[in-house]
Amino acid sequence: MTEPNTLSLDQPTSASPDLPAGADDLDARAAEDRTDADDLADDDLDHELEPIPPAGSRSVPSEHERLGGSRREFAILTIIAGLAGLWASVRLTLDYFEVIKDPNFTPACDINPLIGCGVFLASEQSSAFGFPNVLIGLVAFPVVITTGVLLLAGLRLPRWYWRGFFAGTVFAIAFVTWLQVQALTQIGALCPYCLVIWAVIIPLFVHTTARSVQNGALPGGPGLRSFLVGNRWIITALWYLLVVAAAVLAFGEKWLLVF
């Protein structure tokens, strides 16, 4: 009689399947990745992981904006501001040279003793840098228009251009503010064409600042970015109110000449 086969405890009951080539290396790399993740401090994780922005948040830049583009709203605002400013600059330039040729020339914008261009064009402040201020607008506003057209066409401008454009608006708002102070305290009148330029420079500066912080051309955290982008129109409106209030207080009873 044949004895039944007995299994030895020293022998494996089944053969182990062969592992695919490179499996050990993959396991080792995965273990290293887990170790690296465990070693990251909380601050490192915050830096490595980009937070997911809330849906519909307009303060968070899109990929197009991060790469130098802009929304249509800003592009259209820039074009309108540039066109209005250029028109006012051309009108002031024409009247300026007419006043030079004929000191008795009366510009069409001279409405009454309080509102008129003639007193501005004849003042020392009209040539603050040794040449007519109106020439600045003739050069600057075409750049503003071109910038708006490029953005509206979907082009993405480099950061150095955004910073240069922002620097230009800083100069513009500083110069306009100085002219406003001169008009209210020294000249004692309001120039209609100048008012147009003032009216477009204020929102241009506010919106350019907001968009430059938003797209990273200017430094600023999420809080500042959210405040500027979310309140840009409110800031513009408050700025307008401040200028109007200053004019009302500065001229007082002179406003009776208007009505």
Rounded to 10 deg, the angle between the 192-214 and 222-230 helix axes is: 150
Looking at per-residue pLDDT, the higher value among 118 and 22 belongs to: 118
Q: How confident is the model at residue 32 (pLDDT cuts 50, 70, 90)?
A: low
Counting every residue written for the chain, the total comes to: 259
pLDDT digits (tens, 9 = 90+) for 94-130: 988 888 888 788 888 888 878 888 888 888 888 889 8
pLDDT value for 108: 83
Q: How confident is the model at residue 55 (pLDDT cuts 50, 70, 90)?
A: very low
Rounded to 10 deg, the angle between the 72-101 and 192-214 helix axes is: 150
Q: Which residue has the tokens 């050990």?
A: 24
pLDDT value for 52: 40
Q: Closest by alpha carbon to 141, among 207, 98, 90?
A: 90
Q: Which of 15-29, 84-98, 159-173, 196-210 has the least mean pLDDT? A: 15-29
- In one-letter notation, the amino acid at residue 225 is R
Residue 115, strand partner residues? 190
Q: Which of 116-120, 141-145, 200-204 has the least mean pLDDT? A: 116-120
Q: Residue 192: CB partners within 8 Å, gap ≥ 6?
A: 109, 111, 115, 116, 117
pLDDT value for 188: 87
Q: What average pLDDT does the structure give for the chain? A: 81
Single pTM value for the model? 0.74
Residue 184 has, within 13 A of its CA and on its CB side, a CA count of 18
CA–CA distance, 252 with 247 (Å, rounded to integer): 8
Q: Mean per-residue pLDDT for 36-56?
A: 44
Counting residues of the chain whose pLDDT is more than 90, the rounded percentage is 45
Phi, psi of 124 (to 5 degrees): -65, -30
Architecture in CATH for domain 63-257: Up-down Bundle (1.20)
Highest mean pLDDT of the ranges 29-43, 104-118, 182-196: 182-196
CA–CA distance, 155 with 203 (Å, rounded to integer): 22
Helices within the chain (DSSP H only): 23-39, 42-48, 63-66, 72-101, 118-121, 134-152, 159-182, 192-214, 222-230, 232-251
What is the DSSP code (8-state) at residue 13? S
pLDDT value for 1: 47
Are 194 and 137 in contact, with CB atoms under 8 Å apart? no
- Tokens standing for residue 134: 């109106």
Q: Mean per-residue pLDDT for 136-162?
A: 95
Q: Which residue has the tokens 């261009």?
A: 117
Q: Would you kindly state where each structural domain of the chain is located, as residue ranges?
A: 63-257
pLDDT value for 197: 96
Q: Is the pLDDT reported for residue 42 higher than 60?
A: no
pLDDT value for 183: 92
pLDDT value for 46: 43
